[in-house]
Copies of this chain bind each other. A is one copy, B any other.
Amino acid sequence: MQLNPPIALDRRVRKSRQALCTALLYLLLEKPFEQITLQEITDRADLAYTTFFRNYSDKDALLKDLAQTQIERLLDLALPLFSAKDSSTSTLSMCNYVQEHRQIWTALLTGGAAANVREMFVRQVESRADQWPAQPTWLPASFGSVILSNITLDVLALWLNKAPATAPNEIAAMLAKFFKVIDDS
């Protein structure tokens, strides 16, 4: 029996954080993460500079808050793809998800924070390593997840960035081809 969601945040706090997140999101479409200033973020969010620090300790903390959730959702859809059975299903549903949230994922993957996001992504995948039993035998332990993650992100980034017209199922097909290599003993 749970009381409340983690400690039901003040509505104002939720609003501020939301504003900061979307502000960052839009800025990421314009310029690299490191070049984005807290001042710019708070300006765009229409909040006082100091308010930022009441909500996040850091610019990275904001990015994390922004990206972590997205990554989680994506992984919930994507992880089954490692289990060979419904690989194609999960791959496709992942691509559909990205398609639906095209803008946010464009910011995350092709914007300036790409490197950071990839790192978070890989770390999350590794922390869920136990969720799929079959490690490819021809790769050293933990090589698999890193490489798989990177290929996935590469394909998604290229899709969003260079070939936005491509249909989700085409992308899913490409990914599937790569995944098969790893599953093949």
Contacts and interface: CB of A to CB of B under 8 A. Distances in A.
Given A115-B115, A151-B151, A162 B177 contact: no
Nearest to A166: B140
B162 A154 contact: no
Contact of A154 (B115, B140, B147, B155): B147
Given A143-B155, A150-B154, A178 B181 contact: yes
Interface in A32-81: 34
A163 B177 CA distance: 26
Interface of A: 34, 114-115, 138-140, 142-143, 146-147, 150-151, 154-155, 158, 162-163, 166, 174, 177-178, 180-181
